[in-house]
Amino acid sequence: MIEREKWDSGVASLIREYEGFSPGQKSLVKDLAAAIKSCKGRLHLIVEGVGAGEICARCNGECCKGGKNHVRGVDLIVYMNDGRDLFSPRFELEICPYMGDSGCLMGPEYRPYNCISFICEKVEELLSPMEKERYYALEAELRSLYCAMEQLLDNSFRFSLMSVFERRQREKPINGKEIF
């Protein structure tokens, strides 16, 4: 199965799960999604404050290698919760399928946990001790928010969407539950 088919099957499965949420679950998702976006936005502001965008452009996305496995169910739930049209990965790219012609296909508040929480040495060394402390406190907060959202999903999308698909293809259905 090609990457596009894996992606499409994974997204379809996640949409079915999301649509099956009760109104109470959807309300909790809405609150968690808002907190996740806020936290990601604050993390992004810290690194942008030291010119990370320029550093990343010069580096040409070296940390983005293997990016196909960064998008998790939580990331897509946050997208869906906002009623946004889902981006279309470009799996033909060698670096990261979520890169467009002018950078990431996702705004900072929608980027995967790995992408928004990772800072390379070149960026980190530009942060003041107080900024580093704030950055890592926000990263811990974001990790906690992801755990809360993953629990809502019964941890079935705890890993990347592509990894979950591949894992489920190797498993047998449990209690009649559909596998993608």
* pLDDT at position 91: 87
Q: Is 157 part of any domain? A: yes
Q: Is 16 part of any domain? A: no
pLDDT digits (tens, 9 = 90+) for 14-63: 888 888 889 999 999 999 999 999 999 999 999 999 988 888 778 766 77
The mean pLDDT value for 114-137 works out to: 93
Query: 129 versus 98: which is more confidently predicted?
Result: 129
Range of the domain at 160: 23-165
* pLDDT at position 172: 53
Domain count of the chain?
1
Whether the predicted pLDDT of 130 surpasses 60: yes
Q: Is 78 part of any domain? A: yes
The three state secondary structure string of the chain is CCHHHHHHHHHHHHHHHHHCCCHHHHHHHHHHHHHHHHHHHHHHHHHHCCCHHHHHHHHCCHHHCCHHHCCEHHHHHHHHHCCCCCCCCCCCCCCCCCEECCEECCCHHHCCHHHHHCCCHHHHCCCCHHHHHHHHHHHHHHHHHHHHHHHHCCCCCCCEHHHHHHHHHHCCCCCCCCCC
Instruction: State pTM to two decimals.
Output: 0.85
* pLDDT at position 132: 95
Q: Is 144 part of any domain? A: yes
103 pLDDT band, cuts 50/70/90, is confident
Q: Is 67 part of any domain? A: yes
